[in-house]
Amino acid sequence: MNYSLKCLPEDQLRLSGSELEHLLYTAIFPPLCVFGLIGNTLTIMVLVSNDLMSRANIFLACLAVCDVCFLILMIPHSMGNFDYFAFSLLFRYLYLRSKIHLVAFANWTSAVSIWLVVGVCFERVIGVRSPLHRLAAPSKRRLAAGLLLLLSACAALTCYNHVSQQCFMKLFCHDTQWISMCLDVNTNA
């Protein structure tokens, strides 16, 4: 069968998996994303301009950067749920080609955020248990090395997401409809 001649209905071209997913990505995510981007940007500006930088403030600034990155990485998923983008040939091609990597980077930023929250909590516990410890200036070299180690460890733990699925793309309907199917690399197909 010549698939390039077969045209698929709009329901099969939609990128949302369910009505709930469509609702979440089109009605709830956009205002939350704008609110999150503005709030985290303000947080970064306040924490970075502070003359008295503590480890907790540095962790919180890094956490805000990770949150901004996560929200930016989620924007294409939200866009794909709007019909204007879902039916656009160029958007579908770019989105379907990069979806796996967008998810992988979103997982990485999420993992880094989780460990930064743990770091902030740990720093707060140390501050409560020994208040004089808070007066010591953090070593920039040790802090940078720790953050680099955290980024590297989270990247190592989530890098499998980039190669965990094999995606196949095919053009339908006289080369006007991109369709993609991703399979787990461990599946025998």
Per-residue confidence in pLDDT tens, the chain, 189 aa? 666 667 776 777 777 778 898 899 999 999 999 999 999 999 999 888 877 677 778 889 999 999 999 999 999 999 988 989 888 889 989 998 999 999 999 999 999 999 999 988 888 888 788 776 655 666 788 888 989 999 999 999 999 888 888 888 777 787 777 877 777 888 775
> What per-residue confidence (pLDDT) applies to 189?
55
| pLDDT recorded at residue 79 | 93
Q: Does 120 map to a domain?
A: yes
Q: How far apart are CA 155 and CA 149, in angstroms?
A: 10
Does residue 76 belong to any structural domain of this protein? yes
Distance (Å, rounded) from C-alpha 85 to C-alpha 73?
Answer: 16
CATH code for the domain of 141: 1.20.1070.10
Cα-flanking dihedrals φ and ψ of residue 165, to 5°?
A: -135, 145
Residue-level pLDDT at 116: 92
Domains contained in the chain, number: 1
Residue 93 lies in a domain: yes
Assigned domain for 185 exists:
no
Query: Tens digit of pLDDT for each residue in 70-121?
Result: 999 999 999 988 989 888 889 989 998 999 999 999 999 999 999 999 988 8
Q: Which residue has the tokens 């794909």?
A: 80
Whether 189 is in a domain gets the answer: no
Residue 179 falls inside a structural domain:
no
In a domain, 50, yes or no: yes
172 domain residue, yes or no? no
pLDDT of 48 reads: 85
Residue 66 near residue 119 (C-beta atoms within 8 A)? no
Range of the domain at 129: 13-163
Task: For residue 162, give the nearest of 109, 111, 100 by alpha carbon.
Answer: 100
- With CA atoms as reference, report the closest residue to 138 among 24, 80, 59: 59
92: exposed, middle or buried (Cβ count in 10 Å: 0-12, 13-18, 19+): buried
pTM (two decimals): 0.85
